[in-house]
C-alpha cells in the first residue's frame, strides 16, 4: 500500500513541472516592436540576445551615453543588420589575435 502511494506521489510530482512549463510566459526584455535606428554617436553599449527558452525572439538592446537609457532595436531593421555585421567583423579580427597570443605563451622555452 505504501509503495503504491509513493509511486503515485512520485508520478504526480514528475508531471507537475511539465504542465507548468506549458503555461509559462515569455520574459523578453523588449516589450514593443522596437526602434528602427538610434543615433550612433549616442550609443554606449550594444547587447544582442539570441532566442532562448525564456524568449523566442532575437533582441538587440542599445544603452545610450549619459542617460543610460536602454532602447530596443528591431532585429530586422537595416540599422540593426549593420550593427550585427560590424560586431561580427570586430569579433573575427580579435579572435586570431587571441589565438596567436596563446600560442606564443605556450610555445616559449621551459
The residue that leads in pLDDT, 15 or 69, is 69
**pLDDT-based confidence at 97, cuts 50/70/90?**
very low
The residue that leads in pLDDT, 64 or 93, is 64
| pLDDT tens profile 6-62 | 656 566 666 655 544 444 456 899 988 899 999 988 989 989 899 999 999 999 999
Per this entry, what is the length of the chain? 110
Domains of the chain with bracketed CATH: 34-105 (2.40.50.40)
Q: What pLDDT shows up at residue 83?
A: 86
Beta-carbon contacts of residue 73 (< 8 Å; ≥ 6 apart): 34, 35, 36, 37, 38, 60, 61, 62, 79, 80, 83
Amino acid at each position: 500500500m505504501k509503495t503504491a502511494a509513493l509511486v503515485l506521489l512520485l508520478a504526480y510530482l514528475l508531471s507537475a513541472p511539465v504542465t507548468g512549463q506549458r503555461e509559462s510566459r515569455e520574459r523578453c526584455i523588449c516589450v514593443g516592436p522596437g526602434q528602427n535606428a538610434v543615433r550612433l554617436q549616442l550609443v554606449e553599449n550594444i547587447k544582442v540576445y539570441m532566442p532562448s527558452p525564456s524568449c523566442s525572439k532575437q533582441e538587440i538592446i542599445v544603452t545610450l551615453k549619459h542617460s543610460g537609457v536602454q532602447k530596443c532595436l528591431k532585429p530586422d531593421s537595416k540599422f540593426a543588420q549593420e550593427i550585427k555585421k560590424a560586431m561580427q567583423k570586430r569579433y573575427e579580427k580579435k579572435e586570431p589575435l587571441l589565438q596567436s597570443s596563446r600560442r606564443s605563451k605556450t610555445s616559449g622555452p621551459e
